[in-house]
């Protein structure tokens, strides 16, 4: 239904009854985390810079989605990109997250460490863009490594300059979103530039870190043979660090959030890729010797 402002709206009862929307919106909530109290704006900014607090959207326990084994995925608030197909536009603004102390985060990881070890799982920081809060995430990773817990960073790599080489030491795996291989397409899809993603992936490879590349396949947007070929060429520069490529099919699960937030959704009528298109793209990557999921 269109409104006078041009935005589409989704009725509240539709959101409440849509299990997919609920799972994507609420995820794990923020149960079990205590927000710091008594901090004014200056104190919070200082604590954010040092990593004593982080702004968190939500967290979840999942399997085989955000890295190997059973994982605690923490969705950080704040993102510099504005991807046309973003599933979580409610994570774009850092101020919309809840401030969580580093101590509370470490205690949460410690609570699940036995589960992680039993399932070869671990902790994943996602977003939003977790690299917007490098001090908090890297300190949590350091604590996790001291517990023997596997660590995974889910990122576009766009803010790779925020991470020092020392911070990279505590990353076991990176889920790196290579959103396009073509500069113009990357700009259209995200509003950003591509080169930082390439640079960060190459830094990870040089540091001996494992990489899983993620590529979202959107018909008519990211699916051209030329664009896919350029993504493959970028992936080749990561060498043996790249374990596989995940080709993620575009879907509309995030659309209700755009409606609820009254943000004009640019892919309102976009369809997902056909079986034939998926097979072609998979074959393109495999022709370069990559394992593709």
Note whether 235 and 178 are within 8 A (CB): yes
Q: Which tokens go with 183?
A: 């500069």
Element holding 26 (H helix, E strand): helix 19-26
- Would you list the domain boundaries of the chain? 12-286
Tens digit of pLDDT for each residue in 250-281?
999 999 999 999 999 999 999 999 999 999 99
**Distance between CA atoms of residues 174 and 68, nearest Å:** 11
Q: What is the DSSP letter of 87?
A: S
Residues in the chain: 293
For residue 128, whether the previous peptide bond is cis, meaning omega lies within 30 degrees of 0, is yes
pTM of the model: 0.87
The string of pLDDT tens digits covering residues 153-188 is: 999 999 999 999 999 999 999 999 999 999 999 999
Report, as an integer, the average pLDDT of 208-229.
98
pLDDT (tens digit per residue) in 82-96: 999 999 999 999 989
Is the domain 12-286 a CATH 3.20.20.70 member?
yes
């Amino acid at each position: 239904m269109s409104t006078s402002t041009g935005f589409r709206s989704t009725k509240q009862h539709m959101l409440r009854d849509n299990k997919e929307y609920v799972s994507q919106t609420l995820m794990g909530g923020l149960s079990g985390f205590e927000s710091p109290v008594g901090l004014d704006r200056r104190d919070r900014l200082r604590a954010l810079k040092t990593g004593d607090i982080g702004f968190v959207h939500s967290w979840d326990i999942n399997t085989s989605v955000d890295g190997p084994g059973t994982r605690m995925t923490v969705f950080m608030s704040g993102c510099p990109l504005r991807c046309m197909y973003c599933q979580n536009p409610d994570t774009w603004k850092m101020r919309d997250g809840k401030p969580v102390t580093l101590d509370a985060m470490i205690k949460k990881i410690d609570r699940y460490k036995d589960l992680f070890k039993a399932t070869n799982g671990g902790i994943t920081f996602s977003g939003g863009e977790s690299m917007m809060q490098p001090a908090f995430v890297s300190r949590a990773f350091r604590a996790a490594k001291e517990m023997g817990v596997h660590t995974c960073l889910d990122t576009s790599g766009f803010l790779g300059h925020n991470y020092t080489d020392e911070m990279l030491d505590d990353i076991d795996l990176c889920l790196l979103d290579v959103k396009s291989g073509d500069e113009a397409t990357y700009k259209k899809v995200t509003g950003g530039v591509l080169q930082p993603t390439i640079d960060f992936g190459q830094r990870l490879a040089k540091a001996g870190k494992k990489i899983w590349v993620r590529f979202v396949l959107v018909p008519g947007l990211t699916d051209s043979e030329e664009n896919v070929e350029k993504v493959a060429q970028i992936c080749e520069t990561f060498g043996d660090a790249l374990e596989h490529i995940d080709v993620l099919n575009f879907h509309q699960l995030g659309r209700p959030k755009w409606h609820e937030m009254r943000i004009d959704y640019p892919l309102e009528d976009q369809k997902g890729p056909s079986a034939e298109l998926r097979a072609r793209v998979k074959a393109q990557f495999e022709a370069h010797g990559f394992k593709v999921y």
